[in-house]
Chains A and B, each alone.
Chain A
Amino acid sequence: MVMESSLRARVRAGDPGAFAELFDQYARSVYNHAFRLTADWATAEDVMAATYLQAWRSRERVTEEGGSLRPWLLGIATNEARNHTRSNRRYRRVASALLASDFTLPDHADEVAGRLDDSRRIAAAIDALARLRRPEREVLTLCLWEGLDYESAAEALGVPVGTVRSRLSRARARLRTLVDAPPRAARPPVVDASLVQEGSQ
């Protein structure tokens, strides 16, 4: 906690070394979070870069007391991702393209196996996310995959804790319905017409 306080003070003071530390510690986490919210690796890279620049510009909002700055960065990344993926329709289109694409496979057999597993995990996750509304998607990625508690997620998103809970609850109900209803193989395609019409957000 003392180290975090020291880092917070240095971030707030605009110490470039502190931002270099933040980058080394959390760039990977921000990048993965951005990918889940954009369904595109190249866009995720842009979002990650924009996140750190925005963090620098808003450094004076960091208080000197508090824990890890990762929730703060993930909150900024969430906003930046919204700027890239403005509507659910767009997210689903990009997700559909990702799921339809062939993943580039390396030559080595072991790596191939590993990459295939990776690909399946990514496909399953993006497929699930594409079936949610954006606010639900954001809460799910923060709480479930980035491991933030409800309070941190609420702070990152600028919403009450109760809103985080209710969005997560809706996400679970929606995904549970999809899992329980038809067999997985018979699931409708990710860019289902009714879902698309349901909502750009």
Chain B
Amino acid sequence: MSAPDPAEWAEIAPHPGDHDLPAGRHELHRSRLLTAIAQESRTHTSRRPLLRPAFALAALVVVAAGGAGLAVRSSDEPPASQPSPAATRSADRPTPPGALAKIQAYGTVRQLTDTADLVVRGEVVSVTDGRTVYRVAEVLYRAPVAPVSTEITLDTESVAPPGQPTVLYLALSDPEARVYAPLSADFGIFDLAGETATSRSSAMSVTGLRAEDATVAGRAFVTTLAELRQLARERG
């Protein structure tokens, strides 16, 4: 036999039963673990050579959007993912790296938060004719000009599959029609798994919460929903 027979032990060492962690502690420890992993990943990666293929791709995005931003903007039409004029008027808003363009590179979650008209948690309900109906479960931040209800419309089809929880950093792309678009395509989309938030794209991803970390460019950024909420609160 390769394992003890529990019946033999029932009298001398009865099974004590299995117990759950106290309420809320599973989520707390999970969140702490993932934050620690993210921090250690950054430290570890900083010791590696930087010019990996993924890094080069991310760098290309930054160059296209930043240094040569105007070249990307090829018509007079407003960029689909650009924040609304009302949102961009704020005098105390930090300027993200690079000029406004269709794909604008954001370095930090703070930059996303400070640029967005609306930051919400929720999930896609349906996609029809190029537009997405998104059910809002929580508003993390809302600019005064940004209307919001339990369901909002997004001017894109590629946010997430229906039912996938996400956090979106949105610009009010059509104020009259109350239509939003994620900031700079995938930069403004975080997928949620429990309390863990992971940037949608590894190439189009922030690299830090409050400060950029170029050494982790080219990798999906992992943080927690609690951190996203905290940054939204800080913008107030």
Contact = CB atoms under 8 A, between A and B. Distances in A.
Contact of B40 (A56, A147, A172): A56
Interface residues of B, number: 34
Contacts of B193: 17, 20
Identify the interface centre among B2, B11, B20: most chain A CB within 10 Å of its CB. Answer: B2
B33 A56 contact: yes
Interface stretch (B22-30, B87-95, B180-188): B22-30
B21 interface: yes
Interface in A4-21: 14, 16-17, 19-20
B4 A168 contact: yes
A118 interface: yes
B226 to A, nearest CB: 15
A126 B32 CA distance: 30
B9 A172 contact: yes
B21 A14 contact: no
B19 A32 contact: yes
Given A124-B14, A150-B3, A53 B19 contact: no
A45 B26 CA distance: 10
A40 interface: no
Interface residues of A, number: 45
B78 to A, nearest CB: 36
What DSSP secondary structure best describes chain B's contact surface? mixed
Contacts of B64: none
Given A16-B34, A45-B25, A144 B16 contact: no
A129 B194 CA distance: 36
A24 B30 contact: yes
Given A149-B2, A172-B8, A45 B29 contact: yes
Given A14-B41, A17-B193, A31-B21, A150 B12 contact: no
B196 interface: yes
Contact of B198 (A14, A16, A36): A16
B13 A19 contact: no
Contacts of B9: 144, 172
Contacts of B13: 125, 128-129, 140, 144, 171, 175
A144 B32 CA distance: 31
Interface string A9-48: 0000010110110011001110110011000000001001
A174 to B, nearest CB: 9
A69 interface: no
